[in-house]
Homo-oligomer: A and B are copies of this chain.
């Protein structure tokens, strides 16, 4: 081994222990570190760079639809949180409370925001008077806190980073359209930028957001068949508006309540990326959000001309891609493993023989296939190779999702699948919360994911109680 060399540390195999594999990847790809506060994590530079890429991408999608960013206070007075009854019941049990400010006990304790509907409503009340003030299409990037009992980096942390859109509309129809539009933005973003296919649809009454009339959700399946609630979009009707006394003068000169939505996705998406695409060699990042899209590894870099050529290629590619040339004194093999661990989508190898042939080698992180390509037209070749990596990731995840989605036509079949397979279950449902509770108890945790946007007709009756079916539901265990 070369001087100062260390081997890339081994990670646990996915098949041996998926949870340990996840923790190993988070740690060894240097995405996050634990902190001294239970349930709070440090997001390290490589992990944060993924979040920055996600933010840039989503922020542009939001702004293209006319949304504006704002910033609300992080503290919610207890009395403000209590204004909407369902909302406070849903969130109060997991709030962190500030009770001392400076050196004084506060007259009213302040909740560290778990979500900001109440703060937005208080502000909307000040700035909405006329139909001319509508719609308000606001979004906020911020940190929120939910006091979780069991936590895992990115998947479930007491503090996390997210965006929360909050919009107000003149009509119910407009607000409903916005709710569905933003679910669509999430679906497109997951597919186009994270290379993650997902089921989308409506949450049941039992699973909807505290205070919402309807909640829509995106539910990608992780590699091991477990669901991750990947983002939600809520239609609030005019319930918060009434609770907070937000009114506007309509076109007909009558006083009306506006209709509201909110929608959000979080750093949990980094967990989704890890668990959808990763393998036993570590992380695999979709090119659109990879901090490094191409790792250039010189082969026999001490030989004359190799580093010069590698730098020339780096400078050329850097105009269009996020590129890193590693000319450190670690061995070539160590570098290969290191950038595989970090999930860099594409490796470019360049050595003396390649230079003689005016070519280089491109290696996909997914297929690990080697392609010899000419240095003329290298920019196009890299672009095509990155597109291939994206497609490979998406298709592989889609295949996994399809292979692990099972139809249950009877209660026995449902329990059998729940016990013996890991994945999603499609089954008919009567519409009653009581059947969801019964299934959850009987299976030790299988919950409804959503009523999918496109329902199939599997039978006429609820898989649980036998009463007439109202919907097809997708079920699964969740993170």
Residue numbers of A with Cβ under 8 A of B are: 4, 33, 35-37, 40-45, 48-49, 51-52, 68-77, 80, 93-103, 109-110, 112, 119, 122-123, 126-127, 132, 138, 142-143, 145, 147, 149, 158-159, 161
Contacts and interface: CB of A to CB of B under 8 A. Distances in A.
A73 B123 contact: no
Contacts of A35: 72-73, 119, 122-123
Given A96-B98, A97-B98, A102-B147, A41 B73 contact: yes
Contacts of A69: 45, 48-49, 52
Given A40-B73, A72-B35, A97 B100 contact: yes
Nearest to A79: B36
Given A45-B138, A101-B158, A102-B147, 15 more contacts: A37-B76, A40-B74, A43-B71, A45-B69, A48-B71, A71-B161, A74-B145, A75-B96, A93-B102, A93-B103, A97-B99, A99-B99, A99-B100, A112-B112, A142-B143
Given A93-B103, A122-B36, A143-B143, A98 B77 contact: no
Contacts of A4: 132
A33 to B, nearest CB: 6
Contacts of A122: 35-36
A97 to B, nearest CB: 4
Q: Across chains A and B, which 8 residue pairs bring their CB atoms closest together, nearest first? A: A40-B73, A45-B68, A102-B147, A43-B71, A97-B100, A101-B147, A99-B99, A37-B75
Contact of A98 (B42, B71, B98, B119): B98
Contact of A48 (B70, B74, B110): B70
A93 B101 CA distance: 9
Contacts of A127: 33, 44
10 contacts: A37-B77, A42-B73, A43-B71, A45-B70, A49-B68, A93-B102, A93-B103, A95-B102, A98-B98, A143-B143
A36 B76 CA distance: 8
A249 to B, nearest CB: 12
A96 B99 CA distance: 8
A145 B98 CA distance: 12
Contacts of A72: 35, 42
Contacts of A159: 73-75
Nearest to A41: B73
